[in-house]
Structure 1
Amino acid sequence: MSERDRRETDLYTVVYDDDIDAVVFYWDEYSTGERFKSGAMDLLEYIKEHDARKLIVNTRGIKAHNEEETKWLQEEWMPKIFEAGIEHSVTVHRDSVISEMDMEEFYEGMEDVDDESAMTDDMDEAREWIAEK
């Protein structure tokens, strides 16, 4: 992975991966409330700074969000990343049936969004998918 502009906090790591021309964001620690929203908004600013069109969000290290945070992601945050220019996104979830079901339910709530999204439990698969876009 050829990366530039790596940023790390105790909550997340974000890099721009030149090999796949995408922002790659890793949630390193589970968080909720304002701390979670602050990390998500930091990602939005990073997307804008890099004029990014592709995004991978790796959530393997965290648990599911509560209903309020899920609604915030769907109704407020996700529309903003698409307005910022994201056209293709992949979410990498935990390797479990429950995580997969949670992600499917999350994306069902995003049917009005006009982007191309995918989900997987395999980071290599996510990188391959986004590289083809």
Structure 2
Amino acid sequence: MLKEVRNAFGRIFYRIEYKSDLNIVEAIWEGTATKNDLKHAVVAGLQLHEDTHCPYRLNDNTNFFGHWAEAVAWLEEEWLPRAHKSGIRYLAHVAHPRSFGELAGEEMLKGKIGANIQVCLFTDREQALSWLKAKQELYTSK
């Protein structure tokens, strides 16, 4: 189940997919996007979570160059209630050090999102996947 969203320039900048073999929802951000593009992508991603009720999300920003830290307030007010209701409980956020993606992750971690969803920041995708797998093992061992 793959969804793709195009930016104002007609380029795909967001891909989100439920990976049933891993039981995670993987969101990949690439290139640049406007604030409205970001909102459109976030809503598309929420729909996938609402369909799957998957609690594990990998948010990969390593190839994204947009300024979306300023959208965190919107995420807290609009995205968070739906995200929590859809079942998201663990968010692994991957970004390059000293990037806008890292800044956005830090804002999510210390704000309302981090208070309601376990957010962990990574610079390496494999470490993020390992963290999500550990959360799955912890959940299934209960």
Fold equivalence (TM over 0.5):
yes
Cα 1:11–1:115 change in 2 (3 A) is same
Q: Please, which runs of 5 or more residues in structure 1 have no aligned partner?
A: none
1:105 matched to which residue of 2? 107
Q: Pick the aligned partner of 1:65 from 57, 64, 68.
A: 68
1:46 matched to which residue of 2? 48
Aligned 1:79-90 pairs, distance under 5 A: 79-90=81-92
Q: Pick the aligned partner of 2:17 from 15, 18, 34.
A: 15
Aligned pairs, how many? 127
* Higher relative contact order (CA closer than 8 Å, sequence separation 6+): 1
Deviations 1:10-65 (A, max 9, x none): 12111222332110010123212222100110000011111211111111122332
Structure 1 letter corresponding to 2:98: V
| Percentage of matched positions with identical amino acids | 21
In terms of fraction of residues, the more helix-rich structure is: 2
Structure 1 letter corresponding to 2:68: H
Structure 1 letter corresponding to 2:3: R
TM-score (norm 2): 0.77
Q: Please, which runs of 5 or more residues in structure 2 have no aligned partner?
A: 6-11, 136-142
Deviations 1:86-105 (A, max 9, x none): 111111112x2355455223
